[in-house]
Amino acid sequence: MRILFLGDVVGKSGRNAISERLPKLIEQLSLDFVVVNGENASHGRGLTEKHYNDLRNAGADVVTLGDHAWDQKETLGYIAREQSLVRPVNMAKGTAGRGATLVTAKNGQQVLVVQGLGRVFMNPIDCPFLAIEEAIAQCPLGEMADAIIVDFHVEATSEIQAMGHFLDGRASIVVGTHTHIPTSDHRILNGGTALMSDAGMCGDYDSVIGVQTDEPLNRFLTGIPKGRFAPAEGEASLSGVMIETDNKTGLCTKISPLRVGGSLAQNMPDF
């Protein structure tokens, strides 16, 4: 199975890049399944229903969220009915929506998508390791799921590295989101699980992690907010990671970063 994961979509620039480029990438790379992190898609914070539908219409099979899941209050209303929208699994029991979902890929195989929210340098939350392990135990790789994708929304690279080793052999890929900066540590672990510390963002990199530079610079220099953060609106780079999995085991056989458009150095998978 050929799977593409795209990192945090930031604002209008990121949304436009997804709408314009993702359908072509699906055809060009013969993708069976696409996951997009959409937690910053609406004005840089959260995800409205319209923008969720835009990402789905562009070709995202599943959209994941993160620590900004509820910044757009309407998300609490529509998330319950959307099987392809996933918020962190380690939120408190009874939270609206779902932290894992099983979806049929274009090739007919079953893909489990799980998201966890990290705890290092983040607000207090339940243990992501135990919550993700429980979700995977209910739908094991090679039994109920033909592939398992784990989006781990974290600040600390140590935490995503630990999660990768914790799930090695039990997931197809463990990929980090949240920092908006793509890492170059993509690899396949000994047990066959792909790992990448951060997929990066789908947004304008001529910015401060997707935000127009003036206000972040002001706050670093003075410590006094003058205004709100506003998403940068230049040409976006699509940033993410593509893997290929073994159809029998669901484990990863190939991995490559993807960077298309905008100001980042370009990279297209060649398998």
Q: List the catalytic residues.
A: 68
Please enumerate, as own/partner, the contacts of 121-125 that have beta carbons within 8 Å and a separation of 24 or more.
121/155, 121/156, 122/67, 122/154, 122/155, 123/67, 125/88, 125/90, 125/91
**Do the Cβ atoms of 40 and 80 come closer than 8 Å?**
no
For residue 70, give the amino acid letter.
W
* Number of other CB atoms surrounding residue 124 within 10 Å: 5
Tell me how long the chain is. Answer: 271
Q: Up-side HSE of residue 13: CA atoms within 13 Å toward CB?
A: 26
